[in-house]
Structure 1
Amino acid sequence: MAQNDAGPRPARLGLCAACHGEAGMGQAAGAPNLAGQREDYLRLALREYRDGRRAIPLMRAAIGPISEAELDQLAHWYSQQTPATAKDKP
């Protein structure tokens, strides 16, 4: 479940959540967990995917044209999520 201090749900979260989960726990094979990652790291990674400096075609396509404000919202959202522990997983 999303934490209260994560702020409002980012409008662009849906596409990210398909692979990374709304609460940042990977849903697709190979999709890393984003919950609790450092916000500055997530922001940088998203910029690098958007700008093509990280050559992962799937991520580049998924991010598409994302504004700095949207990028910041996603980085903040995922940084504020709590990673699930083994006992939390079904």
Structure 2
Amino acid sequence: MKALSYIASACLLAAAGAAQAGGDLERGRQIAEQQCQACHGVDGNGDNPMYPRLAGQHANYLAHSLSQYKNGERSNAIMAPMAAGLSEADIEAVAAWYGSRSGLTEPRAPRMLER
């Protein structure tokens, strides 16, 4: 009986988390459309090989990286100003959005330098 109670509690917590993430995902999509799409694409599968594809990355990795750009631990002339205006909730929302997107099924071939 105790195991059933634990399972029920875990299901309720998971459902509550999923409902909360839905709102975060919408906010993340809005931010991606406004600030991120030029380089990374709205869905995280941008076409420009200069910029990383974010779709399908772990949300906690993306949030940590954005926080590091914001606080100066990571330095990048493009990303630092983009992250500077994001709140912690915005960072979590963007990370959740890109983390929820599907990445490419085939990785992009690396660019080779011509000699």
Please confirm whether the aligned pair reaches a TM-score higher than 0.5, indicating the same fold.
yes
How far 1:29 moved relative to its partner? 4.0
How far 1:57 moved relative to its partner? 1.4
Q: Which runs of 4+ in 1 moved over 6 A?
A: none
- Which residue of 63, 73, 86 corresponds with 2:93? 73
Q: Which residue of the partner structure matches residue 59 of structure 1? A: 79
Q: Which stretches in structure 1 are left out of the alignment for 5+ residues? A: none
The RMSD of aligned alpha carbons is 1.8
Specify which structure has the bigger relative contact order, considering alpha-carbon pairs within 8 angstroms and separated by 6 or more residues. 1
Alignment of 1:34-49 (within 5 A): 34-49=54-69
Q: Indicate the percent of aligned positions where both proteins have the same amino acid.
A: 33
Number of residues of Structure 1 aligned to a counterpart in Structure 2: 82
Q: Highest CA radius of gyration, 1 or 2?
A: 2
Aligned equivalents of 2:96 and 2:62: distance in 1?
8
Choose between structure 1 and 2: higher helix proportion: 2
TM-score normalised by structure 1 residue count: 0.79
TM-score normalised by structure 2 residue count: 0.64
Contact 1:50 1:64 in 2 (8 A): yes
Q: Which stretches in structure 2 are left out of the alignment for 5+ residues? A: 1-21, 107-115
